[in-house]
């Protein structure tokens, strides 16, 4: 799930996943962090989900994917679409 908050000079996007699907550590990787695994790792929240918030420039199109333990790559079902194998996000 994606949660977006418009701020004065940026958009904050929170990437949210269930606590145990998939199991193990998960990070969001994309053009906004040079596709660096672990740069934005999802952490547990009190409501039983895990999440990470990323600050992005407004009015841009970004590509991203999730990377889980065991080199398991997957996309966000609620993304704005796809760009090749990646999820697309418009801020």
Nearest-angstrom CA–CA distance, 84 and 87 = 8
At CA 54, angle to CA 90 and CA 37, rounded to 5? 100
The pLDDT tens digits of the residues spanning 40-57 come to 999 999 999 999 999 999
SS3 (DSSP) at 33: helix
The per-residue pLDDT for 61 is 95
Range of the domain at 84: 2-90
Q: What is the pTM of this model?
A: 0.92
User: Looking at residue 62, which CATH number applies to its domain?
Assistant: 2.60.40.10
The per-residue pLDDT for 39 is 96
Query: How many structural domains are present in the chain?
Result: 1
Burial of 22 (0-12, 13-18, 19+ CB in 10 A): middle
Say which residues have a Cβ less than 8 Å from residue 71's Cβ, sequence separation at least 6: none
**At 35, is the pLDDT very low, low, confident or very high (cuts 50, 70, 90)?**
very high
């Amino acid at each position: 799930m994606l949660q977006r908050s418009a701020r004065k000079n940026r958009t904050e996007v929170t990437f949210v996943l269930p606590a145990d699907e998939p199991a193990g550590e998960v990070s969001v990787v994309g053009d906004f962090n040079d596709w660096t695994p672990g740069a934005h790792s999802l952490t547990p929240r009190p409501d039983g989900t895990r999440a990470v918030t990323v600050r992005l420039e407004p009015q841009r199109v970004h590509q991203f994917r999730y990377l889980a333990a065991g080199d398991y790559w997957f996309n966000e079902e609620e993304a704005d679409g796809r760009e090749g194998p990646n999820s697309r996000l418009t801020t």
